[in-house]
Structure 1
Amino acid sequence: MFEQLMIPVSAYAYMSLFITSFLASTVLPIGSEALVILLIRSGYDLPVVVLVATTGNYLGACTTYYIGLKGRTGVIEKYLSISRKDLEKADRWFTRYGSYALLFTWVPLIGDAITASGGLLKLNFRIFSIYVFIGKFARYLVLAYIAAGI
């Protein structure tokens, strides 16, 4: 009976991972790490899990960037739960590290603020994309290898 239940779950595993990763980088204070670990330990293809999680999380970050780019600080504070204090902290990261700060958009509490600040500061989207994707990819790759016990 358990095997019959697993078929529908496995059919939607990657879609669930994508949606969870996307939402984790936008409006919901959730993490996608547990699902990544579950999928890796359940035998799902490590490179595919990493790529799906990275893509979803990156696209969520692009959404947050766009909201910042449009100068919607009220939306950022209300719906993305990013305070002005966190935005100011992110601005200090940009002052100190420049665009390299985008490599750390995966860091809990400050990561979403860095993403939104990137938009507010009207950073070049190509540079934003490269650094954010690299940072998120590295994070999921390390997490997946740890989960796999490699």
Structure 2
Amino acid sequence: MSSILTLFGSSFLASTLLPGGSEALLIWYLQQDVHPPQLLWLTATLGNTLGGLSSWLIGWWLAKRFPEKGLKDQRQRQALERIGRYGSPVLLFSWLPIVGDPLCLAAGWAGVRFSLATVLIGSGKGLRYAVVIWLSGAAL
């Protein structure tokens, strides 16, 4: 059970504005063959999605609390421009390193609906973990 909580925590933190990765831990747990790949996929996807949504929530809160300030960080401004240009489906790419976390924050700032953000962020992250599991040789 502690391995599931560790994977969840690692996946959550990897999807916040903090640096980190969870793919190596997922692959290691797959090789240990203690839990079924489906449970590991679900755990990593859920943790990573909730981490992305925490960034969305920060962006939403900042927009409500400090609307006149704007987003200062260049990556966040670029992410806001991408959301403006391509719309909310760009959140399918929230799993990408460096740009994914600012995309989630900018989506909250831009007012992308929470339910839509959840579906798009979760879909992108779930697909990424499915590919990681597939590349590791395990089957979902």
TM over 0.5: yes
Match of 1:66 in 2: 57
State the alpha-carbon separation in 1 of the partners of residues 47 and 72 from structure 2.
Answer: 24
Name which one, 1 or 2, has greater alpha-carbon Rg. 1
Larger deviation, residues 24-33 vs 52-61: 24-33
Distance 1:83 1:137, change over 3 A: farther
The one of 70, 95, 103 aligned to 1:106: 95
Q: For residues 114 and 69 of structure 1, do their structure 2 counterparts lie closer, same or farther at Cα, with a shift above 3 Å needed?
A: same
1:51 aligns with 2:36: no
Runs (4 or more) in structure 1 with deviation over 4 Å come to: none
Structure 1, unaligned stretches of length 5 or more? 1-10, 73-81
List per-residue Cα deviations over 1:15-58 (Å, max 9, x = no partner): 10000001111142000010011011221311111100000011
Identity among equivalent pairs (%)? 34
Give the TM-score normalised by structure 2.
0.87
Q: State the aligned residue count.
A: 131
Q: Would the alpha carbon gap of residues 28 and 34 (structure 1) be closer, same or farther in structure 2, given more than 3 Å must change?
A: same
Aligned mate of 1:15, from 5, 13, 23: 5
Whether contact under 8 Å (1:40, 1:148) holds in the other structure is no
Measured after TM superposition, the shift of residue 148 of structure 1 is 2.2
**Contact 1:68–1:118 (CA<8 Å) still a contact in 2?**
yes
> RMSD of aligned C-alpha atoms?
1.7
Q: Aligned pair 1:118/2:107, yes or no?
A: yes
